[in-house]
C-alpha cells in the first residue's frame, strides 16, 4: 500500500503541473494545431493541354467611324490653381457625410475655436453601413448648428473591428472634405 501511494504522488504532481500549464496557456489564447501534410503531387499523372486549332484567316473590315456631336465641344483640361488661402478661410459651412461602405463608422470632429489656436470639445457621429446614400446626411450638434471652418480636424474609423480608418482630414487644407459651392457646405464621402 505504501509503495502504491509513493508512486501515485509523483504522477499526481505531474498531472497537476500539466493542468495548470494548460490553463495558463489558455488564458493567453495559446493554441497548438497540427496542419495536414500537403498532397504529394509528383505521383499525379501529367495532363496534356489541348492543342489549339489553326487560326483561320479573317477578312479585315474597315474601321467604324466614331460619331461626333457638333454641339458639344471637347473640354480642355486647364491647370488646377491652388485655392486662395483667404477664400478657403472664409468658407464656413454645414457638414454633410455619406457612408457608402459596408462598415459601421464613427466620424469624429475636433473643431478649432474661433479666433484662437485652441480646439473646442470633440464631437462624434455614428453611421450604419450604407447610411447617407448618395446625398449624405447633414450633421448638427445638440446645442447649435454645426459649421465647419478651416483648420477643423476630421477622422472616421470603422467600428466593426476591421481596422479601417479615413483621415485625418484638415478642413480647407486637405482635398477631403470637399467644398460644395452651390450648397455652401463641406461634404465627406467615405470611400470603400
The whole-angstrom separation of Cα 131 and Cα 152 is 23
Asked whether 97 and 125 are in contact (CB, 8 A), the reply is: yes
The whole-angstrom separation of Cα 104 and Cα 8 is 58
Q: Is the pLDDT of residue 84 over 80?
A: no
Nearest one of 103, 93, 145 to 128, comparing CA atoms:
103
Nearest one of 150, 135, 46 to 89, comparing CA atoms:
150
Cis peptide before 168 (omega within 30 of 0): yes
pLDDT score at 79: 39
Of all residues in the chain, what percent carry a pLDDT higher than 90? Answer: 23
The whole-angstrom separation of Cα 81 and Cα 116 is 29
Provide mean pLDDT across the span 16-45.
Answer: 75
Provide mean pLDDT across the span 169-173.
Answer: 92
For 21-145, where are the E strands, in sequence order?
A: 94-98, 105-110, 123-127, 137-139
Q: Is the pLDDT of residue 167 over 80?
A: yes
Mean pLDDT estimate for the chain: 76
Nine cell digits for residue 123: 464631437
pLDDT score at 55: 56
Amino acid at each position: 500500500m505504501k509503495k502504491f501511494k509513493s508512486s501515485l504522488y509523483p504522477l499526481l504532481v505531474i498531472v497537476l503541473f500539466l493542468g495548470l500549464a494548460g490553463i495558463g496557456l489558455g488564458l493567453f489564447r495559446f493554441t497548438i494545431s497540427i496542419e495536414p501534410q500537403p498532397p504529394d503531387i509528383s505521383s499525379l499523372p501529367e495532363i496534356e493541354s489541348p492543342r489549339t486549332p489553326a487560326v483561320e484567316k479573317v477578312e479585315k473590315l474597315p474601321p467604324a467611324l466614331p460619331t461626333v456631336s457638333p454641339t458639344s465641344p471637347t473640354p480642355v483640361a486647364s491647370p488646377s490653381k491652388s485655392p486662395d488661402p483667404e477664400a478657403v478661410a472664409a468658407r464656413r459651412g454645414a457638414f454633410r457625410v455619406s457612408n457608402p461602405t459596408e462598415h459601421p463608422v464613427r466620424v469624429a470632429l475636433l473643431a478649432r475655436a474661433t479666433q484662437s489656436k485652441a480646439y473646442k470639445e470633440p464631437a462624434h457621429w455614428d453611421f450604419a453601413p450604407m447610411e447617407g446614400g448618395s446625398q449624405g446626411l447633414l450633421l448638427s450638434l445638440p446645442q447649435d448648428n454645426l459649421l465647419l471652418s478651416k483648420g477643423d480636424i476630421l477622422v472616421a474609423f470603422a467600428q466593426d473591428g476591421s481596422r479601417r480608418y479615413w483621415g485625418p482630414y484638415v478642413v480647407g487644407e486637405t482635398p477631403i472634405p470637399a467644398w460644395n459651392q452651390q450648397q455652401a457646405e463641406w461634404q465627406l464621402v467615405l470611400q470603400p
